[in-house]
Structure 1
């Protein structure tokens, strides 16, 4: 389906000639690509403007704009204040879970960042040192990130509430000089004390950070260790101001850990120069933003979306960013996002498809929307997992704005494929991330490395070099970087996702490569089956996984969540789903069963734990990801599954 709200309503912006997709489609040779990226250098302020676009440095890594010198914190703060925009709002903090709202101007935010940068410097943090930030969604988290960038320190944000063992693993890997934390985080109906978790992690870790800076929140006392632990507010009261230091373009800005196949998390490294260019560029050409407008990324600073589009991109570009400490539902209801949009005149909303599936589950008829005026909203961008066509169509019809499904990864830091709404918007197809973004040379290869034709499904790769803003390596583990991403197809980056281009050149993402199952020698996409399951009007969301079968190797199992208030007999729903899959894929699909559950187990970023469930059902050795949102949900699901499949491991 083509979203009717997209086709034929856009005009070509003035920046199109400089930034549009069509210009890049005409680029054939690598030297022309380099000229294109060099043409974007003047988008940001440099202390020393680069003369080279791309080069191999002494550390053996390739870097963008290698001889450039800049400071990311300066770009996000000082630059705007010095341009006379200091009184414009930088951050809107909205916390329904603590009933707190506030706004920070660019000037006030700069003052706080200067003080925290001074504090870190006074405690011995120098350029190149690492700092772990273990905080909830509060303004101090952003201040901490920008303060690290200001002095050239490398921050690593760990999602607040991570278990002590997982936090200890990250402490040992990046070896921070200081940890910045808060006394607790707030979920919908409970608080999570962070300080005890951090203390336990520091007990478990081999590396012991020198100091802890704690932001106290009301109504919870914490144990402070004399000589090691410092109170945030007390330090800020006596702090001076610290100017931004010069850093090289290729110097690391941050480390962000993502799950690794070996159990050890992979520390994705982001540089300063290429990242700043990519963030600034993407705000215009992908999200169609203008300085001063309001951008709402409903994510967490512990994830890449939070890094890129709560903190760095909006502030570097001069927008207002919404920092939301809440959920899409139950804080207090399914109209939470609509309230934010109306109250702060949000132009662009960016969230995971999971958020709108949750909203649709609790409010399938969209009644909550009628309470709010969301006329300021121009776009909904979805990413983080596949957007199933049913959710896409529902959001399109409900919001009556373009719904843009775009695809990217922690490793890339920004969109690989998207409908570039600020440059060359195209008709949008349900289930597709549209076309590759300027600079991403995406190909579909088979296992032997042969390029496939349109319509043929295979492994999605990106021809090297990766564009600015993508990871140059993994933290202290370049060998793993090469083996994980580069060695399978020399000359290409392996995304780990499977998909295909259709006849119009639109890219369709079918899910992780290991989400493809083999039924009697036939490779079938579980993502495609989930699309079919979602066509049943009673289904809110689903996970289709391949479980072991003695005869066929694997057979698909559908685990589904029904919409609230559904009274249709489960046997009727199962019959309909089985019939649909048989009709649209064929008898070979052999759907084993449909299992009905109340909720699906997910990571905090909204990814369903398909692989974990499959291993548990098959009785294989498994590990529960540290990023799981609520372990009890996984237990609930497996209890239901075990009734039908007693062989499931306990």
Structure 2
């Protein structure tokens, strides 16, 4: 039975981490072999594979070339926004990475130095990341196009020697010049970098400042290839700043050894990817998904990774994903639920799938936000493959809960990311820190130590790591998410802890409301927030986006939605407020900005989150809420600069 096999592996990983992870570590090429798996002497700051050494770039690139696979495609670049495609073999990737690493070395970059990477979704971005790993330098990728103040704050926190950027990024709306944004950030930052490297794209020229800015192509033309530097397993590989931070940025620190072992293990165990397979994570390298499963994970497994510069819809249409899967014979595809909802909204009957051969596809994986059952079921019906919801965080770097499709595929339960992955001991705790009974809601927490590949700490801020994640429940890592576990151990993540609303003493999950609203055949997506109420404390407010072409009477739809929620959730939910909006404000990874909308609805001042996809969406929400009488246009202070 698959369920029994997964439970057995869970027990093994928890009770004998030495045996479990030493076996997993055998897939990695070590310079100094693993003798000890876990160092818990400095708990809660655990270290995996202490004393062992390796190089992550060597494991991702060089060893495959040495083994005779230099001709295999490592990166398949697909860019509908430029109308171009390019295949980069492992041999070509090795040459490009080694040469660019040599160029960085010539600029004084070495082991332990920080390098900020501010680039679009192009192969050179992966080259820059791998070149840093090759030298033992610590990279910190910041979304290309991020606003100057946000980039400046990350420069001040990481204190890099160098910033690597490109002349521009390209969005469906047009070309976004990066150099003026970078220049502004460098003027605003307190920390002064030694220089920048700019990759010139043909769509935009960048003006280089003499003595500070270096042209990528000119540097590599004169560079000597650099070899792989030996680093300790617990030396940092990268810093990644989490979305939605305020004040000082929160930089998650990832190690080299545990990261390589965990990602290599996950590629087969979770995604069922073997060497030579084609894997596609439709994300961005600015997110953790891009780090783990566009760059490092697939390359460690000697898979072909597909790097996509485009959108799920509009580049050029909602059939783009399916045609790419057909053309490049993608085996496993990973995207966010919001991407599937966007496709469903404009092509509800999947007409653009007709005549497209997706027979290579064995599974669709969804993560990045809670996946409502309707979205999962629609995708499964249209694609005729298992649709696997899995749950993890920037901090963990890989799945906390998932259906291990490569070792023991489990029955799929819509709304659940399945069981805890071996290595994670997940428990749902009440406010006193006591595990709750099955089907009872609480704070989802993970017993320490976390498995390999998870965060070591926060960059230069051990206290913030301890206070933010470990202090609430001693001996546990607090995920910040709320949910429940059923009798079989399937976890249901219902939203952030602060997405639990209190209606007249009843603690209710906004995720449950959203699940019900999404059942209505007119609704493309929904978000529910709690608004202040003098009588009941809070009341749920539903904001829905309708499917395109829906011409039914809006008041009728609203009445039906209220009735549906009351029938499914009950009168205790006091659900009566529904607004229809054109779009919901989201981060670039697809997370709905519920907290920001809640502030707007309650008349609080709002600053535009750094990771928002479309700042104008906040204005749309503000106007819609004002029409509902929940605020006035003067109340929320919307800074859309």
Same fold (TM over 0.5): yes
Structure 2 residue runs of 5 or longer lacking an equivalent are 637-641
**1:397 & 1:180 partners in 2: Cα distance?**
43
**2:41 & 2:221 partners in 1: Cα distance?**
42
Deviations 1:309-333 (A, max 9, x none): 0000000000000000000000000
**1:579-590 to 2 correspondences below 5 Å:** 579-590=563-574
Does the 8 Å CA contact 1:617/1:645 hold for their aligned counterparts?
A: no
Who is 1:23 aligned against?
8
**1:81 & 1:53 partners in 2: Cα distance?**
28
Residue from 543, 546, 558 that aligns with 2:527: 543
Secondary structure of 2:606's aligned partner: coil
Does the 8 Å CA contact 1:260/1:266 hold for their aligned counterparts?
A: no
Who is 1:157 aligned against?
141
Residue from 176, 188, 213 that aligns with 1:192: 176
For residue 621 of structure 1, report the CA deviation from its aligned partner: 3.3
Residue from 448, 467, 470 that aligns with 1:486: 470
For residue 525 of structure 1, report the CA deviation from its aligned partner: 0.5
Who is 2:74 aligned against?
90
For residue 189 of structure 1, report the CA deviation from its aligned partner: 2.2
Deviations 1:508-556 (A, max 9, x none): 0001000110001110100000000001000000110011111111101
4+ long deviations beyond 6 Å: 57-60
**2:222 & 2:42 partners in 1: Cα distance?**
41
TM-score when scaled to structure 1?
Answer: 0.96
Residue from 331, 336, 358 that aligns with 1:352: 336
For residue 640 of structure 1, report the CA deviation from its aligned partner: 1.4
Residue from 235, 239, 261 that aligns with 1:251: 235
Secondary structure of 1:371's aligned partner: coil
For residue 264 of structure 1, report the CA deviation from its aligned partner: 2.7
2:287 matched to 1:303? yes
2:43 matched to 1:45? no
Taking structure 1 as reference, are residues 40 and 28 closer, same or farther at Cα in structure 2, changes over 3 Å only?
A: closer
- The size of the alignment, in residue pairs, is 634
2:579 matched to 1:605? no
2:172 matched to 1:175? no
RMSD: 1.6
2:463 matched to 1:473? no
Who is 1:108 aligned against?
92
For residue 636 of structure 1, report the CA deviation from its aligned partner: 1.4
2:136 matched to 1:142? no
2:631 matched to 1:647? yes
**1:272 & 1:295 partners in 2: Cα distance?**
22
More deviation, 322-331/497-506: 497-506
Does the 8 Å CA contact 2:44/2:449 hold for their aligned counterparts?
A: no
For residue 23 of structure 1, report the CA deviation from its aligned partner: 3.3
For residue 584 of structure 1, report the CA deviation from its aligned partner: 1.2
**2:99 & 2:10 partners in 1: Cα distance?**
46
Secondary structure of 1:427's aligned partner: coil
Structure 1 residue runs of 5 or longer lacking an equivalent are 1-7
**2:491 & 2:509 partners in 1: Cα distance?**
15
Does the 8 Å CA contact 2:114/2:160 hold for their aligned counterparts?
A: yes
Residue from 185, 206, 231 that aligns with 1:201: 185
Does the 8 Å CA contact 1:158/1:302 hold for their aligned counterparts?
A: yes
Deviations 1:606-626 (A, max 9, x none): 000110010111012333210
**2:614 & 2:14 partners in 1: Cα distance?**
49
Does the 8 Å CA contact 2:318/2:352 hold for their aligned counterparts?
A: yes
For residue 487 of structure 1, report the CA deviation from its aligned partner: 0.4
Does the 8 Å CA contact 2:425/2:447 hold for their aligned counterparts?
A: yes
Does the 8 Å CA contact 1:22/1:424 hold for their aligned counterparts?
A: no
Secondary structure of 2:331's aligned partner: strand
For residue 208 of structure 1, report the CA deviation from its aligned partner: 1.2
